Amino acid sequence: MNPTAPRCDDTAAWAALAGHWQAHGRDFDLREAFARDAGRVAALSFDAPEVFADLSKNHIDTATLHFLLELAQQCRLPERRDAMLGGAVANPTEGRAVLHTALRAPRGAGLFSDEVHTTLDAMLAYADAVRTDEGITDIVNIGIGGSDLGPAMAVRALESYTLAGQRVHFVSNVDGHDLAPLLARLDAKRTLFIVASKTFTTQETMANAEAARAWFVQQGGTDVARHFAATTTHVKAAAAFGITTTFGFWDWVGGRYSLWSAIGLPIAIAIGSANFRALLAGAHAMDRHFAQAPLAQNLPVLLGLLDVWYINFHGYASRGVAPYHQGLARLPAYLQQLEMESNGKRVDLAGRDLPFATSPVVWGEPGTNGQHAYFQMLHQGTEVIPVEFILVKTPSHALPGQHAKLLANGLAQSQALMLGKSAAEAAAESVPTADAGFDRAVLAQHRTFPGNRPSTSFVLDALTPSSLGAFLALYEHRVWTSGALWGINSFDQWGVELGKALAGRLLPRLQDGPERGRTDGLDASTAALLQRLTGARA
Q: Quick check: 197 binds ligand F6P (CB under 6 A)?
A: yes
Using the minimum distance from each CB to ligand F6P, give the nearer residue, 239 or 412: 239
Coil, helix or strand for 442? helix
The residue range among 62-70, 198-206, 440-448, 518-526 that interacts with ligand F6P, by the rule CB under 6 A, is 198-206
Using the minimum distance from each CB to ligand F6P, give the nearer residue, 208 or 414: 208
The CA distance from 287 to 299, in Å, is: 11
Using the minimum distance from each CB to ligand F6P, give the nearer residue, 273 or 493: 493
Taking the complex as a whole, the smallest distance from the CB of residue 497 to ligand F6P amounts, in Å, to 8
Q: Quick check: 342 binds ligand F6P (CB under 6 A)?
A: no
Let me know: does 211 contact 176? Beta carbons within 8 Å: yes
Taking the complex as a whole, the smallest distance from the CB of residue 327 to ligand F6P amounts, in Å, to 22
Q: Is the dihedral of CA 504, 506, 511, 513 positive or negative?
A: positive
- The gap from C-alpha 317 to its chain's centroid, in whole angstroms, comes to 17
3-state helix, strand, coil in the chain (%, to 5): 55, 10, 35
Task: State which of residues 49, 110, 145, 360 lies at the interface with ligand F6P (CB under 6 A).
Answer: 145
Residue type, 132: T
DSSP assignment of 94-120 equals TTB---GGGGGSPTTTSTTHHHHHHHH
Using the minimum distance from each CB to ligand F6P, give the nearer residue, 179 or 460: 179
Using the minimum distance from each CB to ligand F6P, give the nearer residue, 141 or 205: 205
Taking the complex as a whole, the smallest distance from the CB of residue 205 to ligand F6P amounts, in Å, to 5
Using the minimum distance from each CB to ligand F6P, give the nearer residue, 142 or 484: 142
DSSP assignment of 237-289 equals HHHHHT--EEEE--TTS-GGG-TTSGGGHHHHHHH-HHHHHHHHHHHHHHHHH
- The gap from C-alpha 377 to its chain's centroid, in whole angstroms, comes to 23
Q: Quick check: 289 binds ligand F6P (CB under 6 A)?
A: no
The residue range among 66-74, 76-84, 143-151, 422-430 that interacts with ligand F6P, by the rule CB under 6 A, is 143-151
End-to-end Cα spacing for the chain:
54
Taking the complex as a whole, the smallest distance from the CB of residue 200 to ligand F6P amounts, in Å, to 7
Residue type, 105: A
Taking the complex as a whole, the smallest distance from the CB of residue 229 to ligand F6P amounts, in Å, to 15
Q: Quick check: 147 binds ligand F6P (CB under 6 A)?
A: yes
Taking the complex as a whole, the smallest distance from the CB of residue 337 to ligand F6P amounts, in Å, to 7
Q: Quick check: 496 binds ligand F6P (CB under 6 A)?
A: yes
The residue range among 138-146, 421-429, 467-475, 528-536 that interacts with ligand F6P, by the rule CB under 6 A, is 138-146
Residue type, 133: D
Task: State which of residues 172, 202, 359, 371 lies at the interface with ligand F6P (CB under 6 A).
Answer: 202
The CA distance from 433 to 249, in Å, is: 63
What is the per-residue burial (b if ≥16 Cβ within 10 Å, else e) of 401-424?
eebeebbeebeebbebbbbbbeee
What is the per-residue burial (b if ≥16 Cβ within 10 Å, else e) of 144-172?
bbbbbbbbbbbbbbbeebbeeebbbbbbb
516, 495, 99, 480: CA torsion to nearest 10: 150
| β pairing state of 51-54 and 455-462 | antiparallel
Number of residues engaging ligand F6P in binding (CB under 6 A): 14
The residue range among 29-37, 74-82, 139-147, 358-366 that interacts with ligand F6P, by the rule CB under 6 A, is 139-147
Q: Quick check: 208 binds ligand F6P (CB under 6 A)?
A: no
Taking the complex as a whole, the smallest distance from the CB of residue 282 to ligand F6P amounts, in Å, to 22
Residue type, 517: G
The residue range among 111-119, 191-199, 313-321, 354-362 that interacts with ligand F6P, by the rule CB under 6 A, is 191-199
Of 99, 146, 120, 94, the closest CA to residue 250 belongs to 99
The residue range among 144-152, 158-166, 353-361, 365-373 that interacts with ligand F6P, by the rule CB under 6 A, is 144-152
Task: State which of residues 199, 318, 422, 519 lies at the interface with ligand F6P (CB under 6 A).
Answer: 199
Task: State which of residues 49, 110, 150, 255 lies at the interface with ligand F6P (CB under 6 A).
Answer: 255
Peptide bond into 394 cis (omega under 30): no
Q: Quick check: 146 binds ligand F6P (CB under 6 A)?
A: yes
- For residue 101, which phi and psi values (nearest 5 degrees)? -65, -30
Task: State which of residues 390, 453, 493, 509 lies at the interface with ligand F6P (CB under 6 A).
Answer: 493
Q: Quick check: 396 binds ligand F6P (CB under 6 A)?
A: no
* Most distant CA atoms of the chain, gap in Å: 77
Taking the complex as a whole, the smallest distance from the CB of residue 144 to ligand F6P amounts, in Å, to 5
Using the minimum distance from each CB to ligand F6P, give the nearer residue, 94 or 128: 94
| β pairing state of 455-462 and 387-394 | parallel
Q: Quick check: 503 binds ligand F6P (CB under 6 A)?
A: no
Q: Quick check: 359 binds ligand F6P (CB under 6 A)?
A: no
Using the minimum distance from each CB to ligand F6P, give the nearer residue, 43 or 496: 496
The residue range among 109-117, 140-148, 347-355, 377-385 that interacts with ligand F6P, by the rule CB under 6 A, is 140-148
Where in the sequence numbering do the catalytic residues fall? 341, 372, 500
Q: Quick check: 144 binds ligand F6P (CB under 6 A)?
A: yes
Of 389, 332, 337, 381, the closest CA to residue 359 belongs to 337
Q: Quick check: 256 binds ligand F6P (CB under 6 A)?
A: yes
Sites of contact with ligand F6P (CB under 6 A): 144-147, 197-199, 202, 205, 255-256, 341, 493, 496
